[in-house]
């Protein structure tokens, strides 16, 4: 998945209340996992997004779990 698409999706999700909800995080997860793997580009995107803390607690847990699992598979 192209990072540009992920960035566009994240921007759209932040427009309403400047936070990503659990539901919105599930959409991001589906975009990332659509090809069955988490690429380095997608990992970099997730790390940067999580550092900016634009996620509610449930969304943060969901997406940080993807990042953690992707690092464990290496």
Query: Domains of the chain: which residue ranges?
Result: 3-72
Alpha-carbon distance 5 to 32, whole Å? 10
Alpha-carbon distance 63 to 66, whole Å? 5
The per-residue pLDDT for 26 is: 95
Number of residues in the chain = 74
The per-residue pLDDT for 67 is: 87
18-41 pLDDT, tens per residue?
899 999 999 999 999 888 888 899
Q: What is the pTM of this model?
A: 0.82
Structure tokens at 66: 């993807």
Evaluate whether 54 touches 18 at the Cβ level (below 8 Å).
yes
Whether 3 has a pLDDT exceeding 70, the answer reads: no
Structure tokens at 74: 């290496």
């Amino acid at each position: 998945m192209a990072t540009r698409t992920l960035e566009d999706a994240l921007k759209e999700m932040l427009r309403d209340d400047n936070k990503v909800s659990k539901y919105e995080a599930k959409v991001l997860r589906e975009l990332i996992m659509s090809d069955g793997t988490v690429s380095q580009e997608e990992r970099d995107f997730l790390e940067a997004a999580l550092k900016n803390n634009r996620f509610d607690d449930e969304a943060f847990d969901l997406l940080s779990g993807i990042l953690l699992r992707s690092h464990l598979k290496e």
